[in-house]
Amino acid sequence: MRPGWWWQLSFEVRSNNTAVHPAPVPPPRTRAGRFVAQAPPIVNKFIAVVVLVIVAMRLDIDQGVTVGAVACVALFPVWFPVLRQYWGARLFLLAGVIAIGSGIWLTALSAPTHDTSLGQAFGLIAGLVGLLSGVGFVLWARTVLPDSQIAIWFGAGILLGVSPTSELYAENPWRFGYSVALTILLLGITLQLRRRWLELAVALLLTVVATVTDARSTFAFMLLTVLLVAWQMRPTRPTRGKSALRALLGLGALALIVFNVIQALILDGALGEATQQRTLAQLEETGSLILGGRPELTATIALMQHQPWGFGVGIAPNPEDILAAKTGMASINYDPNNGYVENYMFGGHVELHSIIGDFWAGFGLPGLLLALIILVLIVRSIGVHVAANTASAVLLYLGVKAVWFLFFGPFFSSSVLLVLVLGLLITRRVPTETDAALLRPTLPGATPVRFRQ
């Protein structure tokens, strides 16, 4: 084996010259990285489990910094070399670093006309650093733990981090407390057991629970998950062509059908009277269930037209910005003169209740690009897995929920779940036909071959 082999992502060739296997993870150059890389497998598994639970628990230190994020940043030498094994992982990290630089530059650019909060700026940057490092760590964890155990331990961490003292928890403990954690945990267990019928049964049970807990979006996520799991259980011909694009087109059509079916069920009162009345009020006010439930979308579009380059991290909107946003919201007959808009969305900061909107506002066009890269990574992975009939219920649930959050969920509350989604959904690279051809004439032993980039 030639010196310097760790600089390449390689494969081993066995003596029969036919079997191709992933080579060991390239050893890091730092002392901490070498310690973890050379540790016994049980030690690596223990590190992976502990950090996964800590990340999911979201133990705050100060100013948006969490214990889990600190641990993932400290383990940078361990997980960074692994990124080249995964499709788009290094691009994701690079886009995130550029977005942070853009956010700082935009803050300086906006300072003469806007108030600035250094604490909020630091918190948003810390949140993005936590996302980047957390995803990198989960990708490394996939080299020492199966996906099912990653989901199980992460779900357990979210469950341990549930706060029963919040106002939303008191209003609906299942919806705002245990729903996400137990869904990930239970579906992770079914993935570990590798029984499709059990995945389908648990997903169906969780769908039924969503119907009686006033959770419209969760009901939609679970119903779509159930349908996709059932679809993959159908008999298939071995020679049938598998197209990720075809799978995505079918998934889009299915999502549209599910949306219309759920809207009809809600209006008929199938999900309860409270949900029915809230939905009717939103439809009468805006004419659309999506816009009625998420009027922040129109504020985002209006602000993008008002200031296309974004605002910067820690920037508070000025009266002109708020007026532009309210004008956009009023265009759908939504009354923006309320405490939600004044305090939550624009109370000394810009909160647009979507990852895409928050990234654009804080980090500008590079932030918008980062959000689009995340969307592509998630959607591509779902298409690949569904086309190959390998999409588990937990991956489908996480993927559908993450796409929703990109458009309709705030970054702060979505960031922990996004770590798990990207960490599990980013697909591994595979050797190309050229690589395989290069491997055939080799002698018995291990020979490194680089991935085609």
User: In this model, does residue 447 exceed pLDDT 60?
Assistant: no
Stretch 243-250: mean pLDDT, rounded? 73
What pLDDT score was predicted for residue 284?
67
Of the pLDDT bands very low, low, confident and very high (cuts 50, 70, 90), residue 13 is very low
Q: Among 47-61, 215-229, 251-265, whose mean pLDDT is lowest?
A: 251-265
The stretch 413-424 carries a mean pLDDT of 94
| Under 8 Å between Cβ of 418 and 374 | yes
pLDDT of residue 295: 86
pLDDT at 12: 32
Determine contact, residues 360/310, Cβ cutoff 8 Å: yes
- The residue-averaged pLDDT of 366-387 equals 92
Q: What does the pLDDT read at residue 4?
A: 38
User: What pLDDT was estimated at residue 237?
Assistant: 60
Q: Does 264 score more than 60 pLDDT?
A: yes
Mean pLDDT for all residues in the chain: 82
**What is the DSSP secondary structure assignment for residue 448, as one 8-state letter?**
-
pLDDT tens-place string over residues 127-177: 999 999 999 999 999 999 999 999 999 999 999 988 887 777 777 788 788
Lowest mean per-residue pLDDT among 73-82, 162-171, 185-194, 298-307 = 162-171
Locate 396 and state its tokens. 């489908």
Q: What share of the chain is helix, strand, coil (3-state, %, to 5)?
A: 70, 5, 30
Paired with 21 in beta bridges are 12
CA dist 212 to 91, 177, 208, 215, 436, Å? 42, 15, 7, 8, 53
Calculate mean pLDDT across residues 9-17: 32
| Single-letter code of the amino acid located at 395 | L
| Structure confidence at residue 30 (pLDDT) | 56
Q: 82 — alpha (psi -120 to 50), left (phi > 0) or beta?
A: alpha
392 three-state secondary structure: coil
The phi and psi torsions of 51 (rounded to 5 degrees) equal -70, -40
Inter-residue contact 5 to 448 (CB < 8 Å): yes
Nearest alpha-carbon partner for 186 in 176, 175, 177, 198:
198
- pLDDT band of 292, cuts 50, 70, 90: low
Give Rg (Cα) of the chain: 23
pLDDT score, position 440 = 36
Which of the two residues, 94 and 332, has the higher pLDDT score?
94
Place of tokens 């759908």: 332
